[in-house]
Structure 1
Amino acid sequence: MAMSRRAMAGLGVLGGSAAVTGGVVLFRDRPEVRGALGDVNLVKGYAGGEKIGFIQNPRTVAALKQHGLALAAERAGSVEQVRDPTLLATKPQFLWPSSSPLVDLARRQVKILKDEVIFNSPIVIYSWVPIADGLVRAGLATQEGAHYSIDAKGLIDAVLARRAWSELGQPDLYGRVRLIASDPNKSNSGFMFAGLAANLLAGDVATADTLPAVLPKLVDLFRGMGFKSSSSGKVFDDYVAGGPGAQPMVVGYENQLVEWILADKERWKRIAGAAGPAKPVALYPRPTVYSAHPLIALDPQALSLIDALMSRQLQEIGWRDHGFRGPLGAIGAETDPMIAGRMPAQIAAVAPMPDIEVMLEILKALV
């Protein structure tokens, strides 16, 4: 018996509906399908404090949802993440420190499924315009547009020699030249700066043979800093809150000032346009070291997180909203006008870090 056109159409709709439903059942394990349905996998782990702003950014949350993911990241120092048995005992699905050498250290503690550098951010020294100008007059720095470059070895020598601020063009600052970093045994910016300082004091990449000769100076450098925070983010927060008198020079990541500017553009406009001289500024050490931000997958769920974070959309959010360079150290294709020109397009003078065994010896000495 012939079937009516309406009946055939009805079966077609029913069949199409079944096909769609079947398709969803069949493909719902694909992350992009789960994201479209509002069904996401929660991936839990630890991340360095400098990445918390990116992780909590609503644009990041929305982009990850499109990949079927939600991220629950607890703040932890980069060195702590890979060494602290208490943290590792919580069975995180991922670790997101801020240094590639720490991946080798993590391998001694946990089974790594995959690691991939998501972002890069060079180590910089944050100071204030009048102090930076004094360093220029003293021959230690040069101004390059909206940022400065600084002779890193010359600055370390000045700190170790206990030179007075007045010798570096700052008679109003109290006492001697001070440089503050985070605790290298807990936080990556301090860890990276310790490696850079060891290289500069050794005259080349520090090795097991050259380290003993420079270790006393390195210990002297860090002891002279006084209290050292366990968080790079806390160091930067104290810097912007304390001003040039309390926090004349601190070690941080390039992206921190960029993120701070973009977080409140009106605040930055007021500061940049004010007559007062206390404006924050980044000084790029010559040479510096790159702080890579590798995501370490400890659970299969974190493998899809790596893929998502390497997507163009999330890479652009990392750069445009937070100042994180891509894996090769390049800046993104799109730049917010508020930060245009504040960072060099490429960092030419980059030193390699000492190997992990040398860094472990440094950490022992700096406890």
Structure 2
Amino acid sequence: MRRHPLKLDTVREDRAIENLTSRLTESFADIHTPEDIESAIRTARESFAGDPVRDYVPILVERIVRDELTPKPEPVEQPDRRSNWTRPPSGGPISTTAGAPRHRFPIALPAAVAGVLVAATVATVLVVRSGDDVQAQTGQVTLRGVIGSEKRAFFEDPDVKAALAEHGLEVRVDTAGSREIATSVDLGGYDFAFPSSTTAAERILQPAAGRPAVSGKKYSVFSSPMAIATYQPIVDLLSATGIAKQVDGTWYFDVRRYVDLAKANWRWTNVRGNTTYPVNKRILITTTDPRTSNSAAMFLAIVSYVANHNSVVQSAADERKVLPLVAPLFVNQGHTDNSSEGPFDDYLSLGMGQSPMVNIYEAQFVDAAVQRKLKPGMVLMYPSPTVQSKHTLIALNANGEKLGELLSTDPELQRLAARHGFRTADQAQFANVVNQYDVPVVKDVIDVADTPTYDALERMLDAVSKSYR
């Protein structure tokens, strides 16, 4: 991608724009050429040329370009969601793994060309429906779901696909941030939604702006405690300050001490004798965007609990007390990714110079160990306290219910879930995986904070979102 000709120091912004270009090229590959997507991003970014505050430019550019690239079709009658045929969802999803044919066309279309494309689209719909009729005759059912990105590898696993096929199911998924699934993704064309926590699932079942309440059955399929991905030189440095300590081979991170240091605006250069990471950056844990992502919401649950003197935030008075302490932990990071996949991919590939500590799901670290992606010196550390994130499937119809039951009870699917790092009802499966690959996880997660109620967490998330402005 061509560099933007700004005079400001925009190295971090350039990298965020490059990541954005990659995501949007994947998302809109069916309908726009890479050249058109890059041109739209460049034009949107140029509208902010000369603005001195750059931290939020990538976020604003993404909103502008997504709105520009998203098709605005004429309203058409939608088929019954309960039938075997399901339409592709409009808007919402960030990326897709569905195997639809790819057609590219420029952003601006002459009327005659647009008419031809409409006719071709109608023909394609007829072909797709015919194919689904064949699937109905053979007993194979295709489901569509929208999931948190940390579960993408699980659903793309050939062994998982084969296990589902034995039960007559083919599952195609789109990915988005869990809060994005709960608030802005159109669920009309999906059979299930699979965010990363009970809180996000509960929000799906509540009416939201522009969307009625969703009726569906809940399945708590997997769980994963929140953890921190870091590096041995960093834990050694933190150990010297008392923030990190090792117990029985497992590293723990003192969240109380972290909140106090952040309040005092400590930087890495303030750590006495720091020759390991002498960088004049705030001591912050990299999270995702709390406005869209569940992993950031779970981190907010942890730090708000500690800031409230190890008590769950319940009242408006509690919220007023903790927000000045916890909001800067997110806002001071600048640009953050929309889903947990991005920061962890950076952790695996870029080293500690970019982000010395990254808030993750434990499952991501275990999955990377199984896939042999971890490098020497990479360390898993648990916040003390942490929270358990329960990955909860919302079935939107009978087919979704069948999938929820299978993922919750089928021994083979539970074994495969454990191979991807998730804790399931069968604890022995997870224990076998971490023992086989020698992953230093804690067997029983004991130091767990209680999470706020759905309403209290949403109010805090809204307040943190306003802090960005």
- Please tell me whether the aligned partners of residues 143 and 149 of structure 1 are also in contact (alpha carbons under 8 angstroms): yes
Q: Compute the displacement of 1:38 (Å).
A: 6.7
- Tell me which residue corresponds to 1:137: 240
Amino acid at match of 1:64: L
- Tell me which residue corresponds to 1:255: 363
- The two structures, once aligned, show a CA RMSD in angstroms of 2.2
What is the CA–CA distance in structure 1 between the aligned matches of 2:343 and 2:230, rounded to whole Å? 12
- Please tell me whether the aligned partners of residues 414 and 429 of structure 2 are also in contact (alpha carbons under 8 angstroms): no
Structure 1 residues 291-300 or 207-216, which shifts more? 207-216
Amino acid at match of 1:93: D
What is the CA–CA distance in structure 2 between the aligned matches of 1:119 and 1:313, rounded to whole Å? 14
Correspondence list, 1:1-367, <5 A = 39-84=139-184, 87-109=185-207, 110-144=213-247, 147-166=250-269, 167=271, 170-171=274-275, 172-175=277-280, 176-203=282-309, 204-208=311-315, 209-263=317-371, 265=372, 268=374, 271-272=375-376, 279-310=377-408, 311-319=410-418, 321-327=419-425, 332=430, 334-335=432-433, 337=435, 339-367=437-465
Residue 201 to residue 94, structure 1, CA distance change in 2 (3 Å):
same
CA-to-partner distance for each residue in 1:155-206, whole Å, 9 max, x for gaps? 2222232223241663333113122110111111001101111111011111
What is the CA–CA distance in structure 1 between the aligned matches of 2:254 and 2:337, rounded to whole Å? 25
What is the CA–CA distance in structure 2 between the aligned matches of 1:197 and 1:240, rounded to whole Å? 25
Q: Compute the displacement of 1:309 (Å).
A: 0.7
What is the CA–CA distance in structure 1 between the aligned matches of 2:301 and 2:272, rounded to whole Å? 25
- Please tell me whether the aligned partners of residues 189 and 232 of structure 1 are also in contact (alpha carbons under 8 angstroms): yes
- Please tell me whether the aligned partners of residues 284 and 329 of structure 2 are also in contact (alpha carbons under 8 angstroms): no
- Please tell me whether the aligned partners of residues 199 and 206 of structure 1 are also in contact (alpha carbons under 8 angstroms): yes
What is the CA–CA distance in structure 2 between the aligned matches of 1:125 and 1:169, rounded to whole Å? 24
What is the CA–CA distance in structure 1 between the aligned matches of 2:139 and 2:318, rounded to whole Å? 55
- Tell me which residue corresponds to 1:4: none
- Please tell me whether the aligned partners of residues 331 and 345 of structure 1 are also in contact (alpha carbons under 8 angstroms): no
Amino acid at match of 1:199: Y
Q: Relative contact order: is structure 1 or structure 2 higher (C-alpha 8 Å, sep ≥ 6)? A: 1
Residue 169 to residue 55, structure 1, CA distance change in 2 (3 Å):
farther
Residue 260 to residue 298, structure 1, CA distance change in 2 (3 Å):
same
Q: Compute the displacement of 1:57 (Å).
A: 0.7
What is the CA–CA distance in structure 1 between the aligned matches of 2:411 and 2:147, rounded to whole Å? 21
Amino acid at match of 1:240: L
- The SS at the match of 2:290 is coil
- Please tell me whether the aligned partners of residues 152 and 286 of structure 1 are also in contact (alpha carbons under 8 angstroms): yes
Residue 248 to residue 286, structure 1, CA distance change in 2 (3 Å):
same
What is the CA–CA distance in structure 2 between the aligned matches of 1:94 and 1:330, rounded to whole Å? 28
- The SS at the match of 2:220 is strand
- Tell me which residue corresponds to 1:27: none
Give unpaired runs (5+ residues) of structure 2: 1-134, 208-212
- Please tell me whether the aligned partners of residues 219 and 405 of structure 2 are also in contact (alpha carbons under 8 angstroms): no
CA-to-partner distance for each residue in 1:90-123, whole Å, 9 max, x for gaps? 4321110001112221111333331011110000
- The SS at the match of 1:45 is strand
CA-to-partner distance for each residue in 1:241-299, whole Å, 9 max, x for gaps? 22111111111100111111222x3x54xx33xxxxxx221110111000110110011
What is the CA–CA distance in structure 2 between the aligned matches of 1:92 and 1:42, rounded to whole Å? 11
Residue 154 to residue 327, structure 1, CA distance change in 2 (3 Å):
farther
Amino acid at match of 2:417: G
Structure 1 residues 252-261 or 109-118, which shifts more? 109-118
- Please tell me whether the aligned partners of residues 121 and 329 of structure 1 are also in contact (alpha carbons under 8 angstroms): no
Residue 189 to residue 161, structure 1, CA distance change in 2 (3 Å):
same
Q: Compute the displacement of 1:339 (Å).
A: 2.9
Amino acid at match of 2:274: Q
Residue 119 to residue 357, structure 1, CA distance change in 2 (3 Å):
same
What is the CA–CA distance in structure 2 between the aligned matches of 1:260 and 1:146, rounded to whole Å? 19
- The SS at the match of 2:196 is coil
Amino acid at match of 2:148: G
- Please tell me whether the aligned partners of residues 434 and 440 of structure 2 are also in contact (alpha carbons under 8 angstroms): no
Kindly tell me the number of residue pairs found equivalent between the two proteins: 320
Residue 151 to residue 131, structure 1, CA distance change in 2 (3 Å):
same
- The SS at the match of 1:194 is helix
Q: Compute the displacement of 1:88 (Å).
A: 2.1
Amino acid at match of 1:100: T
What is the CA–CA distance in structure 2 between the aligned matches of 1:150 and 1:331, rounded to whole Å? 27
Give unpaired runs (5+ residues) of structure 1: 1-34, 273-278
Amino acid at match of 2:181: Q
What is the CA–CA distance in structure 2 between the aligned matches of 1:241 and 1:366, rounded to whole Å? 29
Q: Compute the displacement of 1:343 (Å).
A: 0.7
Q: Compute the displacement of 1:125 (Å).
A: 1.2
Output the TM-score relative to the length of structure 1: 0.82
- The SS at the match of 2:351 is helix
Please say which structure displays the higher CA radius of gyration: 1
Residue 168 to residue 141, structure 1, CA distance change in 2 (3 Å):
farther
Q: Compute the displacement of 1:45 (Å).
A: 1.3
Amino acid at match of 1:298: L
